[in-house]
Homo-oligomer: A and B are copies of this chain.
């Protein structure tokens, strides 16, 4: 059974994708961004990252939201693509996978337009299909796309949510409220852990959100 440890300030995550939502403010994503050795900025997110004194490893996107100054100054690390079928976050993930960077943390993907938030979160399922070992950390918690049975490290009494993407036979252990084959997103939200780990049994795919 696959085991998902908690994301911690000393988790060694080399590759971070900084998406173009709200810039991280919680100490955990902020710290993980600082210690990453390879940071891919999605288009306009580069402006926020650069103005804080950082230099992106790569800037990727359709080039419509980065400032003209940074576009010129960082043109040698700027990969533009006008492909309208995918968004900048997906372009960044595809680039990382091409570079054999499969272990990815996405930051800054939520907190602005809610349709972007929904899109970016749901795309985690697609990235899992592409072979990425990916998580998304927000200012409130971490989203992990999962397939099949899995065990998750957690803090006792922490709130967790399960968003079902068509999985069946869903059962949980180590959670306060029972799970079932939820058909609407909200049904699996606001559960709570009882110990320092919980397990999910399921056929199919789902998303786990562990709050900090």
Residues in A lying within 8 Å of B, measured CB to CB? 84, 87, 110-123, 125-126, 138, 140-141, 143, 159, 161, 163, 177, 184-186, 189-190, 209, 211
Contact = CB atoms under 8 A, between A and B. Distances in A.
A115 B190 contact: yes
A113 B177 contact: no
A188 to B, nearest CB: 9
Contacts of A84: 177
Given A140-B112, A140-B113, A141-B113, A118 B121 contact: yes
- Copies of this protein in the assembly total 2
Contact of A118 (B112, B116, B123, B185): B185
Main secondary structure of the interface of A (DSSP, over half): mixed
Contact of A114 (B87, B126, B141, B190): B141
Contacts of A119: 161, 185-186, 189-190
A111 to B, nearest CB: 7
Nearest to A118: B185
A110 B186 CA distance: 13
Given A114-B209, A117-B117, 7 more contacts: A111-B111, A113-B140, A115-B163, A115-B189, A118-B185, A119-B190, A122-B185
A122 B113 CA distance: 16
A138 B112 CA distance: 10
Nearest to A189: B119
Contacts of A184: 122-123, 125-126
